[in-house]
Amino acid sequence: MSRFARLSKNGTLVYVELEGDTAHELSHAPWEGGTRIGKEHGWTEDDLRAPVRPGKVLCVGRNYAAHAKELGNEVPKTPLLFLKPSSSVIGSGEAIVLPVESTRVEHEAELAVVIGKTAKNIRAEDAFAHVFGYTCGGDITARDLQRSDGQWSRAKGFDTFCPLGPWIETKLDPSAISIRCAVNDQARQDGNTRDMVFQLPELIATMSRAMTLEPGDVLLTGTPEGVGPLVAGDVLTITIEGIGTLKCRVEPSQSSA
Ligand code: ZN
């Protein structure tokens, strides 16, 4: 099998390997050497949490030419890297909460890569040996604040702005798979990883030259064209071929005002 998740069971979070309706509990996160401990659980979608709690989420901007163009940007000559805080991560079934500070929050559907082995200054041809697996990711962005702040930490860093899930697929060729995004079942984004400006091996190698990639870190690899607004009450789905569907509802800001 090749599907790993994190479940909430009796109030505790456990890493599991999924096999149909059965979840085999693991001793640790699988990228930390976790193995089956001989305990099985039944599970439903409601039990799923973010499949990883990353040390960092390292992202690339404008990695699909058609998306760079739709926002009026040039395609960069080298990967344009930025970070999202680990506190922004949520899982499938959890809610994206709109911040009071923004009037324009947008979805960006992205292939998420989970690192399996420490990577520093690696060569492109060695990149996949450092990958644990893949999941669906959302780089939720307050587009108005991204423009007005001049840098992106706040606009892309709010709590709940990094949905990941529903699980991690380890046996997957990520070189030409479809990435689709829908809001309330209406198609918004329909892209393919083959259209990345910087393909995964080169991207991971470049990232590893900037900072050490550690097991459990997550890389977001850019979004295809079709980004658009999210409003309270929306249901966002991100579906990646060979992985599955990440589903989050959108909730209004929780201000006390
Ligand atoms: Zn993005």
pLDDT digits (tens, 9 = 90+) for 16-56: 999 999 999 999 999 999 999 999 999 999 999 999 999 99
CATH, domain range 3-49: 2.30.30.370
Rounded distance from Cα 60 to ligand 1 centre (Å) = 6
Cα separation, 176 vs 182, in Å, equals 20
Helices (H), the chain: 65-70, 143-149, 153-157, 200-210
Rounded distance from Cα 220 to ligand 1 centre (Å) = 7
Instruction: Say how many Å lie between the first and final Cα of the chain, rounded.
Output: 49
Same fold, 3-49 and 57-256: no
pLDDT digits (tens, 9 = 90+) for 107-121: 999 999 999 999 999
Cα separation, 168 vs 24, in Å, equals 14
Q: Where are the domains of the chain?
A: 3-49, 57-256
**Percent of the residues in the chain that have a pLDDT greater than 70, as a whole number:** 98
Instruction: Retrieve residue 160's tokens.
Output: 């709940």
Rounded distance from Cα 123 to ligand 1 centre (Å) = 24
Instruction: Retrieve residue 235's tokens.
Output: 């249901």
57-256 topology per CATH: Fumarylacetoacetate hydrolase; domain 2 (3.90.850)
pLDDT digits (tens, 9 = 90+) for 106-161: 999 999 999 999 999 999 999 999 999 999 999 999 999 999 999 999 999 999 99
Q: pTM of the predicted model, to two decimals?
A: 0.96
Residue 10's pLDDT is 85
Cα separation, 214 vs 224, in Å, equals 26
Cα separation, 169 vs 257, in Å, equals 42
Q: Calculate the dihedral angle through the C-alpha atoms of 74, 110, 96, 255, rounding to the nearest 10 degrees.
A: -30
Residues 6+ apart with CB under 8 A from 169: 2, 3, 133, 134, 135, 242, 243, 244
Residues with CB under 5 A from ligand 1 (ion): 108, 139, 223
pLDDT above 80 (res 222): yes
DSSP 145-169: HHHHHSSSHHHHHSTT-EEEEEEEE
Region 78-82: what's the mean pLDDT?
95
